[in-house]
Amino acid sequence: MKQNQIKKILILVTILAVPGFLYYLLQDKGKNRYKPLPFYGEKIVAKTFHSVRGKQIPDTIYHLVNDFKLVNQNADSISLKQFEGKIMLVNLFYTTGKSYGVDYANKAIEGFLKVYQKNHMVNFVSLSIDPNVDKGVTLANYAKSLSANAGKWDLLTGDSLAIKKLIKDGLLLDALKTQINGETRFDYSNMFVLVDINKRI
C-alpha cells in the first residue's frame, strides 16, 4: 500500500516537473528561427535601460518619420495621425513620369493591394515629388487610372518644401529635379519604404 502511494507521488511529480523543466530550457536556450527586419536610419543609445533575464541592456532611440500635413487625391487633408497603429508602404511618384520605374512601382502596389485589401493594418502611400503639377484634378484622374481608393492607397501632394523635408529627413530618400531640353525630369529613389506602427523605417 505504501509503495503504491510513492509511485503515485513520483508520477505526479514527473507530470508537473518535466513540462516546467522543458519550459525553462526553451526560455533560457531557445532561439527564434526568424530574423527581424533591421531599423533604418540613425540610432541613438539612450541613457535609460531595460532588463532582460537580469541583464541591463541600454535602450535605443530609432529614427522616426516626422509628422506631415498633405492632401490626397480626394482633396482631403492627411497627416501621420491617420496612419496611427498602421503599417505604411510608401513610394515616390510623379504623374508625368513615363518611365518603366513608375509603371513598375504602380503595378507592384496594385499587386500588394490585392493581397492586403482586407487587412486594415496595412496602408499604401504614394508621395508626389512634383507637387506643382500633381494636384487637384490631375491627381484625382491619375488615382482613377490606378484604381487607387483613398483610405487604402493615398496619393499625397502638398507644399513642395514640406514634401522635400518629408522625403529627405523623414523617409531618408533623395529626389532631384532636372531640366533636359526644356523637359522636367526627376531622379529619385524608386524604393518602397516600409514604416511600422511606431513610425520607424
| Domain positions in the chain | 69-195
40-97: pLDDT as tens digits: 888 888 778 777 777 888 878 888 888 889 888 888 888 889 889 999 998 888 777 7
Q: Cα–Cα distances in Å, from 106 out to 65, 76, 114, 118, 192?
A: 23, 21, 13, 19, 11
C-alpha triplet 119, 87, 128: angle, nearest 5°: 110
- Please state the pTM of the whole predicted model: 0.73
**How much is the pLDDT for 86?**
92
Question: Which band of pLDDT confidence, cut at 50, 70 and 90, is reported for residue 100?
Answer: low
Domain covering 69-195, topology: Glutaredoxin (3.40.30)
Whether residue 168 is predicted with pLDDT greater than 80 in this model: the reply is: yes
What's the whole-number average pLDDT of the chain?
A: 82
DSSP string for the chain: -HHHHHHHHHHHHHHHHHHHHHHHHHHHH---SS-PPPPPS-EEEEEEEEEETTEEEEEEEEPBPPP-EEE-TTS-EEEGGGGTT-EEEEEEE-TT--SHHHHHHHHHHHHHHHHHTT-TTEEEEEEES-TTTSSHHHHHHHHHHHT--TTTEEEEB--HHHHHHIIIIIS---EEEEEETTEEEEEE----EEE-TTSB-
Entry field: residues in the chain: 201
Residue 181 · residue 62 · CB < 8 Å: no
Please tell me the distance from the alpha carbon of residue 129 to that of residue 94, in angstroms, as a whole number: 6
